[in-house]
Structure formats: structure tokens, C-alpha cells
Amino acid sequence: MRIVLQRSKEASVTVDGQIVGAIDKGLVLLVGVTHEDTAEAARFLADKVVNLRIFEDEDGKMNHSLLDVGGSILSISQFTLYGDCRKGRRPNFMDAARPDHATEIYELFNEELRKHVNVETGIFGAMMDVQLVNDGPVTLILDK
């Protein structure tokens, strides 16, 4: 799995002109799944995401987790995170998982997150418009 994590002040995802998910303070996750990803990887990364200390304390240091600040998550599936652009001018998506496997791992990942925090999502496989106010900006990449 590969996740691009962005700390946000607010975010939303729109499909066909309708907002399908929105959060206030929290994290926006762009989530990619590859062929070898397992339930174990999804559980590991969900735990990592909710416990990462990337929110500032009263001294301005990154000492608080999403759990500490009571934030939410906007989780967006994004197979393009596994686009390989090393050759040619068109990305190769051979490393992205097929939709049936990707859906299973992505949904499990979100279920694990929901054990701890509010999670909003887009629609798997849909064309989505994502809006966010990046807080910091703080952007990290997580791989498993």
C-alpha cells in the first residue's frame, strides 16, 4: 500500500456535482493498493495513520496524533499512486492492484480506521474532485 497523507483544516470530495464526503480538521489520505497488499498491511497502516504524531502541541512541536486532536479522515482511493513514469510519456499502471483486490484491501483499511476515528470516503473507481485546505502544509508518504 502507498498513502499520501495530508494534514488538513477542511476537505471534501465531490462526485457528479454532489459532495459524497467531507471533514473538518484531520487528514486527507490518497490510498493506492498493489497486488501484494494484504489485510495485515492495511491494519498496520491504519494504526500508523491514527497514531502518527503530526499535529502541533501548545509549543508548536509535532507531538499530537489524530486521536489526540479529535480529527477525522477523508480517505480517497487512488490507483495512480502506482503509476510508473520511468519509461515513455504515458504512466504504466501494472503495479496497481486489480479492482476486486484493491476494493477489498481499501475497504478493510477504512474499517480499521473507523475503529478509532470518523472516516469519510469518496466512491471507489469514480472520477472525483477533491478539495482541501492543507494545514502547514504537512504532507507525508507512507509505504508498506
How many other CB atoms are there within 10 angstroms of residue 34's CB atom? Answer: 20
Is 14 part of the annotated catalytic residue set? no
Q: Give the single-character DSSP code of 25.
A: S
Please list, residue by residue across 110-143, b when 16 or more beta carbons sit within 10 angstroms of its beta carbon and e when fewer do.
Answer: bebbeebbebbbbeeeeebebebeebeebeeebe
Is 131 part of the annotated catalytic residue set? no
Is 79 part of the annotated catalytic residue set? yes
Determine which one of 6, 34, 78, 121 is catalytic.
Answer: 78
Determine which one of 6, 79, 109, 121 is catalytic.
Answer: 79
User: What stretches of the chain show up as alpha helix (H) in DSSP?
Assistant: 39-51, 66-69, 99-114
Over the Cα atoms of the chain, what is R_g?
15
Determine which one of 80, 103, 109, 131 is catalytic.
Answer: 80
The residues annotated with a catalytic role in the active site are 78-80
